[in-house]
């Protein structure tokens, strides 16, 4: 509501106490519902075929097998009426790169089409990073005085957003252990606006039964799943009743550690609510980055399957070692595969060694596996969460989530399995 002081000619926009439109209009409920763009899914093809033909002609004739990348920032029009018409239809024309690249690009839209097809959902919006996706999503749903419910363990920057930034904006965060969904009976109230979790969770690989959470929530608020660890090949949260899915597409979807991006997936009407937020806050994914993802996504099934098979063997090797106190890997969890929720255990393994010193010695003794943050690329990576990805989390709070000083996270890549096993064994022997 705006108030004009006639004497000083000052316009004041008063804060609202009403729920955000994107929450109140229930547009988040049906993930298959189409929005202003209509049907952008790829019909009748299996995931492997959709992946290969991302950014292709999709049955249309044209001069290119893969569309060219247009990096210009603005699109010209011959008449004022023509450009005005595009602005009036910005959710469609802007998304497809026909106005200004902060509103969308043609390569970004092709990436959105591919991701929608892989998940059979109404629409997708890509953004400049996974954290851009999460922050834009939360700010679309919550306002001061609201609260959100999140799982006890998640990516360090998401933790920082929920633990520090949102409370400073007047938004309460409620951490719970969603491996026991019945706890939701106690924490959801009339000011709760979302339930958010990763499964498997970063970095302890907690497994959460999506359907059990959805059943407990009973449609009162959106259930949002960060599916970064699994990719659409390892798990489709929509199949278990999730309302919204979010990704850091930097990871396995891109797969080559050469581009940063994020994505929000859900109902077309809900994505239409997020679109103006992205325009005004500015979390756009550039055309060049979108093009890199369109190249990387084509080989996702080849990469993911090899990485997963190698990880299975490496997890067994680590579990058999007397130098390792604990191995976190979905296949070793008694809940796996959560009644078919997971299609495979994935490529991430976390291990607990007896001390920080042992962890550092292990990491620094590796030669094939690279000491670096991130995950999901063709190269195998190792990191020490307590001093890197989760360093922003207070030690006491971090350890209450099982992120101890001796925890090491491995992302298994596409190198020779023999070389990876020798590298890990050598590092274990050095402790």
Per-residue pLDDT tens digits for 130-172 = 999 999 999 999 999 999 999 999 998 999 999 999 999 999 9
pLDDT confidence bin for 57, thresholds 50/70/90: low
pLDDT for residue 233? 96
pLDDT for residue 42? 76
CATH topology of domain 21-299: 3.40.640
pLDDT exceeds cutoff 70 at 60: no
- Give yes or no for a contact between 133 and 264, defined as CB atoms under 8 angstroms apart: yes
State the average pLDDT over residues 310-323. Answer: 97
| Average pLDDT score over the chain | 93
CATH topology of domain 300-430: 3.90.1150
pLDDT for residue 40? 82
Does 200 sit behind a cis peptide bond, omega within 30 degrees of 0 on the bond before it? yes
pLDDT confidence bin for 1, thresholds 50/70/90: low
Q: What confidence tens digit (pLDDT) does each residue in 231-287 have?
A: 999 999 999 999 999 999 999 999 999 999 999 999 999 999 999 999 999 999 999
pLDDT for residue 197? 98
pLDDT for residue 63? 64
State the average pLDDT over residues 403-414. Answer: 94
pLDDT exceeds cutoff 90 at 338: yes
pLDDT exceeds cutoff 90 at 64: no
State the average pLDDT over residues 21-27. Answer: 96
Q: Where do the domains of the chain lie?
A: 21-299, 300-430
């Amino acid at each position: 509501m705006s108030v004009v002081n006639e004497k000083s000619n000052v316009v004041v926009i008063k804060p609202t106490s009403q729920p955000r439109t994107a929450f109140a209009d229930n547009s988040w409920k049906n993930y298959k519902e189409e929005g202003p763009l209509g049907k952008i899914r790829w019909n009748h093809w299996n995931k492997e075929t959709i992946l290969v033909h991302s950014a292709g002609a999709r049955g249309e004739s044209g001069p290119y097998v893969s569309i060219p990348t247009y990096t210009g920032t603005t699109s010209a029009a011959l008449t004022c009426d023509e450009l005005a018409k595009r602005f009036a239809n910005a959710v469609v024309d802007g998304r497809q790169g026909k106005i200004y690249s902060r509103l969308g690009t043609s390569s970004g839209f092709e990436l959105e089409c591919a991701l929608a097809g892989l998940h059979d959902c109404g629409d997708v919006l890509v953004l400049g990073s996974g954290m851009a996706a999460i922050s834009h999503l939360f700010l679309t749903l919550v306002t001061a005085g609201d609260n959100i419910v999140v799982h006890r363990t998640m990516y360090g920057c998401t933790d920082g957003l929920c633990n520090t930034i949102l409370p400073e904006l007047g938004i309460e965060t409620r951490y719970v252990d969603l491996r026991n969904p019945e706890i939701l009976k106690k924490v959801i109230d009339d000011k709760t606006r979302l339930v958010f979790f990763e499964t498997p969770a970063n970095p302890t690989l907690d497994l959460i039964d999506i359907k059990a959470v959805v059943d407990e929530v009973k449609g009162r608020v959106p259930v949002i799943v960060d599916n970064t660890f699994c990719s659409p090949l390892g798990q489709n949260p929509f199949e278990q009743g999730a309302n919204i899915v979010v990704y850091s597409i930097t990871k396995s979807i891109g797969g080559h550690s050469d581009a940063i991006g994020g994505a929000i997936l859900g109902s077309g009407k809900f994505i239409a609510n997020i679109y103006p937020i992205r325009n005004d806050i500015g979390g756009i994914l550039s055309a060049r980055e979108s093009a890199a993802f369109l190249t990387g996504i084509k080989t996702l099934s080849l990469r993911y399957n090899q990485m997963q098979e190698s990880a299975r063997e490496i997890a067994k090797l680590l579990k058999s070692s007397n130098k390792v106190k604990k191995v976190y890997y979905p296949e070793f969890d008694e809940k796996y595969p959560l009644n078919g929720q997971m299609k495979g255990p994935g490529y991430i393994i976390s291990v607990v060694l007896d001390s920080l010193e042992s962890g550092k010695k292990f990491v620094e003794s590796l030669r094939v596996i690279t000491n670096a943050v991130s995950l999901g690329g063709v190269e195998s990576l190792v990191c020490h969460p307590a001093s890197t990805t989760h360093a922003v989390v207070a030690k006491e709070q971090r350890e209450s989530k099982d992120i101890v000083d001796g925890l090491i996270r491995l992302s298994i890549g596409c190198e020779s399995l023999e070389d990876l096993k020798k590298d890990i064994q050598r590092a274990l022997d050095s402790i």
